[in-house]
Amino acid sequence: MNFADECKSKVNLFYTKDSFGLCLAECISSLFYIHTFFLPYFFIIFAEDKLHAVMGRMKFVYVSYAMFLHKGMSA
């Protein structure tokens, strides 16, 4: 499994599991770790943090690379 497929599977978990925040955080931290291999274009994902649902509808902004989205989602 290459890097794009691994991140794609984690992003799929992000949309289907309650623990999506952890999956996306792992993927983004991996992307920032190897950021020198990607073009510096950014995209923003707005997501509800279900772990803090009792505190109300909170929104978090996840910033990562557009190159990941293009490669990961089209793989």
Residue 57: per-residue pLDDT: 44
d(CA 31, CA 45): 15
Two tokens at 56?
A: 């109300």
What pLDDT, on the 0 to 100 scale, is given for residue 43?
41
**Mean pLDDT value across residues 19-40:** 54
User: Which of 7-16, 32-41, 45-54 is the most confident on average?
Assistant: 7-16
Whole-number pLDDT of residue 8:
57
Q: Which pLDDT score, from 0 to 100, does residue 65 have?
A: 52
Structurally, how many domains does the chain consist of? 1
pTM of the model: 0.21
Q: Let me know: does 65 contact 43? Beta carbons within 8 Å.
A: yes
Range of the structural domain that residue 20 is part of: 3-74
Q: How confident is the model at residue 38 (pLDDT cuts 50, 70, 90)?
A: very low
